[in-house]
Amino acid sequence: MNRVPLEKKVLSENDRIAGELRERFREHGVLCLNLISSPGAGKTLLLERTLESFAPGTRVAVLTGDIQTDNDARRLARSGFPVRQITTGGACHLDARMIERALTEWRLEDLDLLLIENVGNLVCPASYDLGEAAKIVVLSVAEGEDKPLKYPSIFFKSALLVLNKIDLLPYVPFRIEEARENARRVHPEMEIIEVSCTTGEGLDVWRQWLEARREAARSELREAPVC
């Protein structure tokens, strides 16, 4: 009988912390993005390719969540940029408190881009605000084009859909136009980018999207009134 009130209390506390994180990110001009997908959709490789494209000295850092192991963090750390693993120990999502704790040893004034790789799951991460500027959902063509209809919450809450692994389209029965249509049935204004981290196709469009968002965050900081 106490399940619903307890869930509301947990989410309320999470939202409070997320709001504080969002304000801190805004004050320092940090663009925070929360990447969410099913396991195996290719979030980690997308982040690897993204970090590889940045010049040394780029003010970027990554938090990566997983139930067990630090495999993803070790892969991403090869880029030379700051990376920290958050091991949830069973939880199927990251929450704002985890992000707050993970950031204690980083100076936000040294960053302008924070990328969060959430735990592989399309359900639970949709309910947890991490203080991000935007959620990004990654869907690979090795999955079903009906995923937006089956898991509408995360597609509705995401600003961008990255359709990944498009190099596999000749080999899998994935109807990409139907996937686009399903996503826009859930979220008509959703932006959609198609990429292959293997061939590099579409990665320039992804980087342009990132850079436009980073510049918007920097502009907001420059225009903020000085108190």
**For the segment 173-189, what is each residue's pLDDT rounded down to a tens digit?**
999 999 999 999 999 99
Residue 67's pLDDT is what?
87
Between CA 193 and CA 202, with CA 196 as vertex, the angle to 5 degrees is 45
Q: Is residue 226 pLDDT above 60, yes or no?
A: no
Percent of the chain residues past pLDDT 70, beyond the cut = 94
Q: Look at the chain and count its residues.
A: 227
All structural domains of the chain with their residue ranges? 3-222
Query: Average of pLDDT values for 197-205?
Result: 98
Residue 222's pLDDT is what?
67
Distance CA 149, CA 165 (A): 20
Query: Average of pLDDT values for 8-34?
Result: 93
Q: Where are the alpha helices (DSSP H) in the chain?
A: 3-28, 43-52, 71-77, 96-102, 147-150, 152-157, 176-186, 203-223
Q: Is residue 1 pLDDT above 70, yes or no?
A: no
The answer to whether the pTM exceeds 0.85 is yes
Domain 3-222: top CATH class? alpha beta
- Residues facing residue 31 across a β-bridge: 113
Residue 174 DSSP code? -
**For the segment 104-145, what is each residue's pLDDT rounded down to a tens digit?**
989 999 999 999 999 999 999 999 999 999 999 999 999 999
- Residues facing residue 181 across a β-bridge: none
Residue 225's pLDDT is what?
61
Distances (CA, A) of 113 to 32, 83, 216: 6, 12, 12
More reliable by pLDDT, 212 or 70: 212
Q: What are phi and psi of 160, to 5 degrees?
A: -140, 140
The rounded mean pLDDT for the chain is 93
Residue 109 DSSP code? G
